[in-house]
Amino acid sequence: MRHFLTTIVLVTLVLASCSVQREAWNVKTTFQTGAQWRPTIDIRADAVMVYGVNGNPTNKHWDIPFEERLKSWRDKGYATHYMTGIAWGQYKDYFTGEWDGKSHLDEGQVQASGDTIWHGHLVPYIVPTDNYLNYFKEKHIKRVIDAGVDHIFLEEPEFWARAGYSDAFKREWAAYYGFPWRPQHESAENLFLSGKLKYHLYYKALDEAFTYAKDYGKSKGMDVKCYVPTHSLLNYSQWSIVSPEASLASLPCVDGYIAQVWTGTSREKNFFNGIKKERVFENSYLEYGCMASMTAPTGRDVFFLTDPIEDRPRDWKDYKKNYQATFTAQLLYPEIDSYEVMPWPERIYEGYYKESPDGDKKIRIPKDYSAMMQIMINSLNDIPKSGNKLSGSQGVSVLMANSLMFQRGEVEGYSDPQLSDFYGLAMPFVKRGVPVGIVHLENTGYKAALADTKVLLMTYSNMKPMDAECHIDLSRWVKEGGSLIYCSTDEDPFQNVKEWWNEGEYSFSRPSDHLFSLLGVPAGAESGLYQCGDGKLWVIRQDPKDFVMNAGGDKVLVEAVSSLYGDALEFKNSFRLERGPYLLVAAIDESVSSEPVEVSGMLIDLFDPDIPVYSKKVIPEGAQGYFYDISKADGGKAKVLAGSSRVYGESLKRSRYSFLSKSPENTLNVSRILLPAEPESVTVDGRETFSKENWDAGSKTYLLRFDNSPDGVGVTIKW
């Protein structure tokens, strides 16, 4: 009997493990937390990324063992994954010498002043040495795989552009370049070389950590998946941080990314029409575009992140406004349907922030905001991919390269305020309602990278090509019928760094001269239009920053794109996209018109915590709208169309619909339920709650409210 019971237990554990693994393969929504499960943060996503073997340096729950935190979420039915920082984390045992008996605080990232850049007490940003990677694999990767985790997320591989002065970095420099370290502040070439090395170090670090994870997992019969949660190339370039970005997508050990885009990254100010200010919606649209285009040609997975608050303390009204902007922007990429719905729910649900911008009173998240947020999050569990295109003229793209990050520093003779040489190409069209795409120079070898582009905008004012192959790809695309607009004076000091275009078999003064030679255009070509096979090259001898830093400065660029586009290039003050029953609308300010945008239909407003039904709704300039189109509901059968809790165990009989509703404690459920007829009875946990005034006959929907519970609230409706 003892052997029989043991066998039953083992079979049960194996089946449970298989169940968890099956869930992990079908994750559509996830979130990260350093805490163990609590009823106040049980947000009911598909998966949870439990943070850090030793927790998160800024989280008060770091002292709870990882395995205990992991089990607390697994016991509640979540697929359980692992996340930690690769460039910083709770690794004090390494830095203080507990691991190998030697102090390693000298391996932090150091500025020219001699100061270490810290992420917390005894937590420096790290120069990823071989010794550190050995520690990281042994003490962290191995432990989480031993705990049964088969999805590993190593976030934010970050090397600050202003760093590069530590002894550890100097040793890495000598080993990589074969000559002694050079101070990066002394020349453009030194800064460029420093950026390349920083890029290489975290490319190598992730390659080693993930390869080890997959090999060790395989030795235990596990198929370990590896992801990189990272800011966009656009944001890292703005914030002067170097990270491997696009090149990782070609590593066989990388299965995908999380696009870490939120209010904190997207509120970074930029120039347009001579004005410098926050443009959160437009910025986040471009940030998500960076991440979508980085992975699309490679077929890697990508999760899009939004955050209902941000790292900086502000007020709840500010958070709400900008959350709606970034949330809308992420959904304007219909090919993406996987999401990190929030980071750190403990700080969102349990933190205190200002009630209003003018007062000092701090409160926990207002119930109307948490209800709206949960309505939005629950929609992410349902929203489908779509073949629909974002409204507007398709096929205008901007070229980016990882080397954007190598030119972010103080160099004599060079200035690119707020990354304006990028925004000078993109913002004139986003503001005119053109759905601008992004193409990564590192991906041009993939045929799909340029397949949907008609007019490609590029500059070498703010970046440089890292090899000649990308020019071969670009020249082929142009000669086969593509239109390329090159905007640059080619006078910045980075043109002269010792690189492939002026060494070895090449002796070009500027990298663009190599591209031009392949297109049959003279070196240093003047402004004008050149025929190149079946395609065209239009040279504009201005740096793109001129287009946005000066009022009306984008006229020459807009006219060039309009001329090459072929069909009439549509300019408008809005974006619109349908994804199944979901409708997204953004009304753009600073655009061709200040008129509001109107939508009509039988629409549930998902940005209103009361989820009202409208036949017509006006979106004011600079705002966004998110709606559920009731006319597209599945066959008109009983269903929760929108709600601030997740629905489980639905049962639909002839005249009876029931389900279990789960969401965090101390939050309010607001649900709009489609029904075939007006209900006669609505019970919530066995209590009759029907109210005739909650029935909307025009839409055949019933509005239901009750207090949420993570344990579940049972609802039964009869008609």
Q: Which tens digit of pLDDT belongs to each residue from 274-314?
A: 999 999 999 999 999 999 999 888 889 999 999 999 999 99
Is the CB of residue 187 less than 8 Å from the CB of residue 115? no
In this structure, of 127-131, 287-291, 544-548, 632-636, the range with the lowest mean pLDDT score is 632-636
Residue 9 has pLDDT above 50, yes or no: no
Amino acid at 256: G
Rounded to whole angstroms, the Cα distance separating 608 from 610 reads 5
Predicted pLDDT at 689: 97
Please, which pLDDT band fits residue 7 given cuts at 50, 70 and 90? very low
Predicted pLDDT at 60: 59
Residue 97 has pLDDT above 80, yes or no: yes
**DSSP letter, residue 27:** -
Please, which pLDDT band fits residue 326 given cuts at 50, 70 and 90? very high
161 or 17: which carries more pLDDT confidence?
161
466 or 15: which carries more pLDDT confidence?
466
**DSSP letter, residue 585:** E
Predicted pLDDT at 249: 82
**Which pTM was predicted?**
0.94
pLDDT in tens, 648-691: 999 999 999 999 999 999 999 999 999 999 999 999 999 999 99
pLDDT in tens, 34-64: 999 999 999 999 999 999 998 766 665 557 8
Work out the percent of the chain whose per-residue pLDDT is above 70: 95
Predicted pLDDT at 208: 97
Please, which pLDDT band fits residue 520 given cuts at 50, 70 and 90? very high
Please, which pLDDT band fits residue 22 given cuts at 50, 70 and 90? very low
Tell me the pLDDT of the chain averaged across its residues: 94
Predicted pLDDT at 636: 78
**First and final C-alpha spacing in the chain:** 52
SS3 string, 446-497, reads: CHHHHCCCCEEEECCCCCCCCCCHHHHHHHHHHHCCCEEEEECCCCCHHHHC
DSSP assignments along 312-348, one per residue: S--BHHHHHHHHHHHHHHHHT-TT---EEEEE-HHHH
pLDDT in tens, 449-492: 999 999 999 999 999 999 999 999 999 999 999 999 999 999 99
Q: If you average pLDDT over residues 533-543, what whole number do you get?
A: 98
Residue 16 has pLDDT above 50, yes or no: no
Amino acid at 455: V
pLDDT in tens, 615-650: 999 999 999 999 999 999 987 799 999 999 999 999
Q: If you average pLDDT over residues 210-234, what whole number do you get?
A: 97
DSSP assignments along 214-256, one per residue: HHHHHHTT---EEEEEE--HHHHHHTTEE--GGGGGG-TT--E
Residue 611 has pLDDT above 60, yes or no: yes
Closest to 438 in 3D by CA, of 578, 197, 625, 237: 237
Region for 635 from its dihedrals, namely left if φ exceeds 0, alpha if ψ lies in -120 to 50, beta otherwise: left
